[in-house]
Amino acid sequence: MLMQVPTDPVTCGIRNRFSLLVSFLVAMLVTAAVYQTRDSVVSSDDLTTTEENTADSAQENSTDSSQQHCDYFSGKWVFDNQSHPLYKGPNCSFMFEEFACEKYGRKDLEYENWRWQPEHCNIPRFDALRLLEKLRGKRVVFIGDSLNRNQWFSLTCMLDSAIPPTLRTFSFKGTLMVFKAIEYNATLEFYWAPHLVESNNDDPRNHSNFYERIVRVESIEKHGRHWIDADILVFSSYLWWRWPRIQVLWGSFNSSDGIYKDVPVPRCYEMALQTWSNWLEIHINHSRTQIFFTSMSPTHQWAEEWGGPAGGTCLGEREPITKEGYWGRGSHKDMMRSVEEALEQLKRRGVNVQFLNITQLSEYRREGHSMIYRKFWKPEQRRDPIHHPDCTHWCLPGVPDTWNEILYAYLVGS
């Protein structure tokens, strides 16, 4: 016989509430554990995805960086007779007499086979048709002295063979040379302005004032009005500043009350660059026009600088200089710094000018000059070319083609 045990209502209530509390806590722990496990899986997936995205982004940025931030100007010359020269000199329709070395008897043509190889990247292989397409409907103007003209003729020769003879023209009038690709409605022009600003040597043919150089450092409008609507501008001005004495004129060449004063050349150069900079800032459409400045082209007048005979020149040289960092005394670093400072100031004012720093790479190329293999204009050179070799200008094909390969890299990559 079973006996019924009486139940205490208070004890029973406490027990029931305790059981409910325990059940609730257990349920909460289980739920928390489930969410923790799920969150751990999601976090792991997210982390994997993030790492993959980061890696992809880094790879893309690395590729972009290598293209956009390639230092084309540090490297070495490599002999490459497979890809260079980019054209044959005698086949260039509009070769200038100062640069036509093969035509004027040069037999050692190995200088045409050297290719510039940057240290950590490659210069894009030049494609004339690709550049012409890039220049469709555009106007390109090179402005400067005879070395800028050297670069301009180089580029016309690089494009020449890609255009049928009936679809290209060449004209020369006053200070302006024009090469036109008719099918592409593209013009490639050279404008003679050796000091950029106005000077008494602004006639490209008459250099009777060669030894008495006068510049109007505050006057550039005479020249600038010819470049104002260009799509691409390539400036260079150095050779005509290599002179011990230059006069600055405040006033007009046609006025009798002008003020003349001898100014140290480096200071005069800075003043001209300031006038040029102001003109660019005010007159050029910065969102449309690409601007470049080619640095000084070196000369090789003194063979003793690279270990040659005293009194020797570039004449007879057949290979580049191999000494790393070689720098001749004809290239003035203080004037080069003046250009760099002018470009930095322009950048702060919202005008971007790409510096084509070709000086160091060209310093090595003592053998690439026209020497005696060109048409001479000066009487003393005609009488005795052996003792008056041209160690300033360059044979074509040759070193200026490399300057243009680098220019091409910036143009097609922009």
Annotated catalytic residues are 146, 390, 393
Q: Is residue 237 within 8 Å of residue 338, measured between CB atoms?
A: no
| Nearest residue to 355 (alpha-carbon basis) of 312, 305, 296 | 296
Q: Is residue 273 within 8 Å of residue 339, measured between CB atoms?
A: yes
| Nearest residue to 268 (alpha-carbon basis) of 178, 332, 335 | 335
Segment (H or E) for 190: strand 186-192
Query: Tokens at residue 305, please?
Result: 């600088």
Q: How far is CA 193 from the centre of its chain?
A: 20
For residues 25 and 31, give the distance between their C-alpha atoms in angstroms, rounded to a whole number.
10
For residues 408 and 414, give the distance between their C-alpha atoms in angstroms, rounded to a whole number.
10
3-state secondary structure (DSSP) of residue 159: helix
Concatenated DSSP letters of 333-381: HHHHHHHHHHHHHHHHTT--EEEE--HHHHHT-GGGEEETSS---SHHH
Query: Tokens at residue 291, please?
Result: 């601007």
| Nearest residue to 151 (alpha-carbon basis) of 136, 141, 138 | 141
